[in-house]
Amino acid sequence: MALEAGFDLCGFARPEPIILKVRGTLTDDPFTRHTHTADPLVPVHRTEVDVSVLDLSEVETTSGWQPCSGRIRLWVNRDDPRAPPMNGLRSGDTVQAVGRFHVPEPPGSPGERDLRNDYLDRGWRGDLRVNDTSAVVRLEAGGWDANRVLAWVRSRSSAALDSTLGASEAPVGKALLLGDTNALDRTEWDSYARTGVVHVLAISGQHLVLLAGFAWLVLHAVGVSRSRAAWVVAAVVFGYALLTGLRPSALRAAVMVAAICGAIVLRRPVNTANSFALAWLAVIGVNPSDAFDLGCRLSFISVFVLVWGVGRWVTPRKRTPLERLIDESRSWWEKALRATGRAILVAFFVNAVLFLANTPLLVTEQNLVSPVGLLVGPPLVLLTSIALVCGFLLLLLAGVPLLSDVLAACTRWSLAAAEWCVHRADGLPLGSMYVPSLPGWWLVGFYALVAVIVLRGWRASRWFLLAMVAWIALAALWPTTTDRPPDELRTTFLSVGHGGCIVLEMPDGRCFLYDCGTTAGPDVVRRVIAPYLWSRGIRDVDELFVSHADADHFNGIGELVRRFRVGRVTFTPSFAEKPAADVAEVVAILKRAEVPIRVVSAGQRFEAGDVSFEVLHPPAVGPPGVENERSMVLVVRHAGHSILLTGDLEKAGTDRVLSLAPTPADVLMAPHHGSKAAFPSGLRTWAAPKCVLVSRGNLYANTVTERETGVPTWDTFTHGTLTVRSNPTGVTVEGYKTGLREVVRGK
């Protein structure tokens, strides 16, 4: 569609995308976001996309091309997997693109992350999604500015790592050395995050300090003066920070290293507090929103604890003359052994202190505690430090025969050893745990106590240490459950896109789920399902009903089991019989986690306090056809009200259900995500619903509306998460995004 003159791109926000033709300049080298094929629960039919950022200059309107400003993310579907990203377009190129523009939607569920804030932090107006690379045309090649030079160096370095490290270690090497967050897939990043050592991959102060120290030692060894070496080290550190994207933690380290180098050049003492404050001002000066970045906060907290706390605590006390005499009498190997033992103890002590200091913030932001990090942290730092030094030298000397082979081998072996440690640690029982977020007031109190203990010293802070223990105990004992009326059944249809997850909170406090999956993959548990359950104070799922063996209804089970104790999973008779890798994977996951499995069929009834459940479909055998026709139909009854859950019921399954005695329902879940073909008029007559709820992911599917159902119809795309409350006074439904609330049935 053509836009009217005066169109405001920034102010445009509608549920449906709009076709835009725009011109602008690429600010980043395009990269490919690959689909993941290793996990059978991750859909593999999604098209790979190339991604970049487009700085807009013009937009086509009804009056022709009009000036337009702002940055948008450009997503282009790949049509040739062998071609370079966006057919070789580079940073600085001026292009014209045609695609569907849309802005991030507000969160659809309580606890879900608000992508609009992330886009605002980065200065992005929205997304332009392009069907194929032919719709992106270069108008003018970019010149060689600083961004183009950095992009060229990154590209050459990435190619060097690919050719020298091989397919297995190259992704980890690019993440470690170049800060390429797209080199590893989500499962690999999650392994490092769960073991509490993701900081060894993300470009941080560790990388820059190690590079600075190594450069300083080399320059000192070849006889370069201190002042000249300081200039070189500062230039190298800032150059590396720019090369890897100038992340907040890297900028912090670069500024502090530069301050130290400046003090050396000017022959002035280093004021650590001033350099720390200068680094903070530099970070917020470049981008004020970076002050709220998790990596930035962890970086400053870690430096504060290390410099003003751990640095003093691990400094050996002055030895007495007798102790010095005894030490002189020891042999060299005994001295070396004692020094090595002390270094190991210090490394584990420092790791433990940083673990205690950073864990509350990680719990608040990522709901993750990683005790195994106490064990593998120091070895991982050592291995990645070796890989960093060898990798730096490899990038500089990639063309030197023999030497580059030795450096590549050292880098490969250290990275392989690091990966081995991470994967083994990730499989340890209780190695990592997912927990609800901590309240903000508790976090403020915790870091206030940390500041006092660090600045006063732990020996002079006995009472504050006791206060810290009490404060941590308070967090462990603080009730996380939300107030639930003892006479209310709360049924929540989560907004998960094309898939399903329905949360049933019983009046007695138990929690049941009906389905857990989406076509977007298992990540929906991390993004939507788990945050919602934690926001409701739910830590245990007593039972999960799986409607049928289609992945968009069960592929989140593995991530759910990882985060919550699941009491039991209930399948239909034909679920485990489906010859599919995703079904076999889920069954194996449940067996490894020792989660009981039961199978139910039509006619079975059971109760949970004041709530009763009845299975209407499928029978023990049949009906023939696809899995949708054997979808579990469940009637949930409470306080004289009923909710009918249908999954993806259709065709022969619907015919069988309609042959049963009519089952009036106050709320009916539209079968198969509201497909018109799956919602015959006979079903409306048979169930006589007072309200129909639809779980769907977009506005363009051929789905039922209120005109087809004849009753109020709510969908999760429009209203977000839908909550049905049943109590003795009646039934209500409300939408999370729209805030609308209606009475479905009153007494």
Which H or E run includes 128? Answer: strand 124-130
Q: What is the pTM of this model?
A: 0.88
Tell me if 559 sits within 8 A of 526, measured CB to CB. yes
Q: CA quadruple 360, 362, 363, 365: dihedral positive or negative? A: positive
Closest CA to 455 of 312, 352, 357: 312
pLDDT at residue 51, as a whole number: 92
Which H or E run includes 443? Answer: helix 440-456
Tell me if 621 sits within 8 A of 573, measured CB to CB. yes
For the stretch 574-628, pLDDT in tens is: 999 999 999 999 999 999 999 999 999 999 999 999 999 999 999 999 899 899 9
Please compute the mean of the pLDDT values over residues 95-122 and round it to a whole number: 89
pLDDT at residue 563, as a whole number: 93
Judged against a pLDDT cut of 80, whether residue 458 lies above it is answered with: no
Structure tokens at 209: 């300090």
Judged against a pLDDT cut of 60, whether residue 532 lies above it is answered with: yes
Which residues, in sequence order, are bridge partners of residue 489?
726
pLDDT band at 553 (very low <50, low <70, confident <90, very high): very high
Contacts of 515 (CB under 8 A, 6+ apart): 499, 500, 501, 502, 545, 546, 547, 553, 554, 647
Tell me if 633 sits within 8 A of 668, measured CB to CB. no
Strand order in the sheet with 511-518: 597-599, 569-571, 543-545, 511-518, 499-505, 489-493, 722-727, 730-735, 741-746
What is the helix, strand, coil percentage profile of the chain, to 5? 45, 20, 35
CA distance 531 to 533: 6
CA distance 710 to 639: 25
pLDDT band at 5 (very low <50, low <70, confident <90, very high): very low
Contacts of 710 (CB under 8 A, 6+ apart): 684
229: Cα within 13 Å, side-chain hemisphere: 17
CA distance 104 to 100: 13
Closest CA to 522 of 185, 103, 148, 23: 185
Judged against a pLDDT cut of 50, whether residue 13 lies above it is answered with: no
Query: Euclidean distance between the first and final Cα of the chain, in Å?
Result: 50
Closest CA to 512 of 540, 482, 483, 554: 540
Specify the residue for token string 């590893």. 184
Judged against a pLDDT cut of 80, whether residue 432 lies above it is answered with: yes
For the stretch 459-493, pLDDT in tens is: 777 888 888 889 888 887 777 666 778 899 999 99
Which residues, in sequence order, are bridge partners of residue 512?
504, 543
For the stretch 71-89, pLDDT in tens is: 999 999 988 878 888 888 8
Phi, psi of 694 (to 5 degrees): -125, 125
CA distance 255 to 282: 8
pLDDT at residue 35, as a whole number: 67
More confident residue, 477 or 644: 644
Contacts of 111 (CB under 8 A, 6+ apart): 528, 531, 532, 534, 535
Judged against a pLDDT cut of 50, whether residue 515 lies above it is answered with: yes
Specify the residue for token string 């309200």. 691
CA distance 572 to 630: 8
Which residues, in sequence order, are bridge partners of residue 714?
693
Tell me if 298 sits within 8 A of 361, measured CB to CB. yes
pLDDT band at 641 (very low <50, low <70, confident <90, very high): very high
Tell me if 273 sits within 8 A of 304, measured CB to CB. no
Tell me if 33 sits within 8 A of 129, measured CB to CB. no
Which residues, in sequence order, are bridge partners of residue 637?
612, 642
Tell me if 180 sits within 8 A of 244, measured CB to CB. no
CA distance 61 to 5: 5
Contacts of 503 (CB under 8 A, 6+ apart): 490, 491, 492, 494, 511, 512, 513, 532, 533, 536, 538
For 217, 327, 331, 341, 424, the CA distances from 336, given in Å and listed in that order, are 22, 11, 9, 9, 30
Question: In this structure, are strands 511-518 and 499-505 parallel, antiparallel, or unpaired?
Answer: antiparallel
Q: What percent of the chain has pLDDT over 90?
A: 40
Tell me if 493 sits within 8 A of 693, measured CB to CB. yes
Structure tokens at 561: 């089991």
Phi, psi of 206 (to 5 degrees): -55, -45
Q: Report CA Rg, the chain.
A: 30
365: Cα within 13 Å, side-chain hemisphere: 13
CA distance 398 to 161: 9
CA distance 309 to 90: 46
pLDDT band at 313 (very low <50, low <70, confident <90, very high): confident
For the stretch 229-280, pLDDT in tens is: 999 999 988 888 888 888 888 888 889 888 999 999 888 888 888 888 999 9
Closest CA to 546 of 615, 454, 481: 615
Please compute the mean of the pLDDT values over residues 425-453 and round it to a whole number: 89
| CB count in 10 Å sphere of residue 227 | 12
Q: Which amino acid is at 597?
A: I
Closest CA to 551 of 592, 601, 526, 586: 586
Structure tokens at 293: 């970045």
Specify the residue for token string 């190129």. 93
Highest mean predicted confidence (pLDDT) among 262-276, 283-297, 448-462, 634-648: 634-648
| 3-state DSSP assignment of residue 492 | strand
Tell me if 650 sits within 8 A of 672, measured CB to CB. yes
CA distance 647 to 457: 60
Q: Which amino acid is at 315?
A: T
CA distance 87 to 7: 31
pLDDT at residue 1, as a whole number: 44
Specify the residue for token string 């560790």. 206
Q: What is the mean pLDDT of the chain?
A: 87
Specify the residue for token string 């880098």. 411
List the helix and strand counts (H, then E) for the chain.
23, 28
**How long, in residues, is the chain?**
747
CA distance 394 to 388: 10
Structure tokens at 486: 């003892």
